Amino acid sequence: MPRRVNLVMLLGLITVSVLSLGLTAGAQTAGTTEDDLLAAQEELTGIMMQKGAAEAASSNATNELNELNNEISATTGELAEADARLAESQERLSGQAQQMYVSGNVAFLDVLVGAEDFTDFTNRVTLWAQILVQEQAKLQELQAARDVVAAELDERQTLLDQRAATVADSEAQQAEAEAQEAASQEFLASLSEDLRAQLEAEQARQAEEARAIGEQALRDLEAQQAAAEQLAAEQLDAAQAQELEAAQAAAEEAASQAALAAEEKKAERQAAEQAAAQAAAAQQARLDAQNAAAAERDAALAAAAEAEEQARIAAQEAAAAREATEQAEQAAAQQREAAQQALAEQAAAAQEVLADEAATEQQQQAAAAQQALAAKAAPVQDTAGVVNPGDQFRFEGEYTINDGATVTLQDSDGTQATAIDNQNASIIEGSIVITITEALDATGGDGQLSDQGLTIADMTGITADSGEAVGQEATKGALTPPGSPTPMTTDSAQPASGDNTASGPAPSPGSPTPTTTDSAQPASGDEAAASKPAPSTASAPTASASGSAIIQEALTYMGTPYIFEGPCERNVAVDCSCFTMLVFGKFGIVLQDDPVSQYGMGTPVDGPPQAGDLVFWNEGGAGITHVGIATGNGTTIHASAFAGYVTETDIDLIPGYVGAKRLI
């Protein structure tokens, strides 16, 4: 169709050209045409040529516009078909994802259930996946084809717009040519009839000649096109034959490759079956091993559960024991608090009585108190080896001393003397301290009470903590020689270290100097700062002294009973300061049997205490009351009255922690 239109346009142009040339030549050869006729002829010829060109362009543009409309209609149909195929492929692929068939009529569920073995299952699943991949590829191809058709449609729509513009332009040119032709015809109409007849005859002849020339040119052009089309067809047949041969060769090669792939697949299937058999055997072996291990694990778990149950029962029993101990300790603490309160009330009452006394009596009491304190601080011994006023003696034990109690002392040669305690009834914990406030009337022996081998021969008005009266046999024992124990202190001579001391009015002249002990034992059961003999400084440690060595030595005391100011013997009985004194003494480090004195030794420790450091507590605001040995891991080994023996406890669990001192 396009070639035919082009030929028609070419024929029209040739005709117009020949006609215009013929008219011009005829006008010149006739010789009879006047100048104005020639001018009119030339103008008319130009107008006719413009009109012919405009008509040809308009016709060509119109034909192309019609052809594009047809192509757009066809492309629109192709696009609709492509969309339909694409939707169908998408629907088919979605259905196949849900209902996949193998061998044409086997559902995907049959692939899973009907597989003969694992290898067959994997092969079927692989085939299923490959088919899905192929369907996806087809879907992508259809999508690409649809996009190509859409692009062609857009391109042709663009050409259609261009052709429409061309047609509009051609129509405008044709309208202009028609207007010019009308003007020329109007001009020619004004010429004479003879001239117009000649001109029309000449135009008709030239038009016939131009038509003949154009038809001949058209026949020649059609012949040339036919020859070109035959040559193109022959070349196309040869190319198609080559493509067909290449396609056959590719198909044969693909068939060969498919056969090889089938053989390889078969070999792989056999190898997979063999591997599956081996894997099944290995799996069975693993299952057997797992079953055996599970049995062993169950037995171990049962044993562990039994052990855990036993441990839980033991822990419950220990917790019950601790609770009972805590309750007993709380009861003791309450008793101590009550005693402290009673003493405080007595002191307050004594102060009120003293306030009502005359100034002279107060001065006398103050002088007597100063004299008594001086005697306690530095006992006077007028005669060497003789008991003098101000001497103090201590006898271990816990007793209640009633008003008017007496203590009969006896020295090594049998001389006896009786001291009378006229102080108010009080509770003495830890030991009885006998203070000689005046010369004693000695009887027997050499008539003079000596401090050598001094013992308590008898007591009256003194009750043991069991509630029974203390008899002669129960109270006999050696006393500490005069001058060895540090005198017990009163308010007027309180040590700077903050020891637990008694409070109250100064003693009156002629009465025994009141002595003090721990009025309230610390909650941890450790002794308060008490008077104990010891050197004032620690000696240099031996070369073997180290934190770990000190801890190892301390561990050998674990479980040793706790007795406040007891015998202080290894594995027999210790209190807190006795325990640390014995442990450090093993390494040549001499400590006092007193937590206050030990706190004054060594160098302060910054940060957490390390193994072998001494750690101290201030319980109840009574100064340094307890000491232990740090392990370096947040615990302390100490003699605890709360536990009743040497044990290991978290440092943070003991209230009133003060700090640590390092001696090595």
Distance between CA atoms of residues 38 and 55, nearest Å = 25
Going by pLDDT thresholds of 50, 70 and 90, the confidence category of residue 555 is very high
49-70 average pLDDT score: 81
CB 203 within 8 A of CB 211: no
Q: What is the pLDDT of residues 389-439, one digit of tens each?
A: 556 555 545 556 666 677 777 776 777 777 655 443 344 444 455 655 455
CATH class of 547-662: alpha beta
Distance of CA 384 to the CA centre of its chain: 79
List beta partners, residue 512: none
Distance between CA atoms of residues 369 and 334, nearest Å = 32
Output DSSP code: residue 651: G
pLDDT at 454 over 60: yes
464-468 average pLDDT score: 50
pLDDT at 69 over 80: yes
Q: What is the pLDDT of residues 158-202, one digit of tens each?
A: 887 887 888 788 788 878 878 877 877 777 676 656 666 777 787
CB 529 within 8 A of CB 594: yes
Going by pLDDT thresholds of 50, 70 and 90, the confidence category of residue 577 is very high
CB 656 within 8 A of CB 618: yes
The total of other beta-carbon atoms located within 10 Å of residue 269's CB is: 15
State which CATH number among 3.30.70, 1.10.287, 2.40.10, 1.10.3470 fits the domain covering 2-273: 1.10.287
The total of other beta-carbon atoms located within 10 Å of residue 664's CB is: 17
Q: What is the rounded (10 degree) CA torsion for 428, 432, 437, 442?
A: 140
Whole-prediction pTM: 0.26
pLDDT at 540 over 70: no
513-520 average pLDDT score: 33
Q: How many CA atoms lie within 13 A of 662 on its CB side?
A: 13
Strands 426-428 and 603-604: unpaired
278-292 average pLDDT score: 85
Distance between CA atoms of residues 619 and 524, nearest Å = 8
Nearest to 622 by CA among 526, 482, 558: 526
List beta partners, residue 583: none
Distance between CA atoms of residues 122 and 264, nearest Å = 16
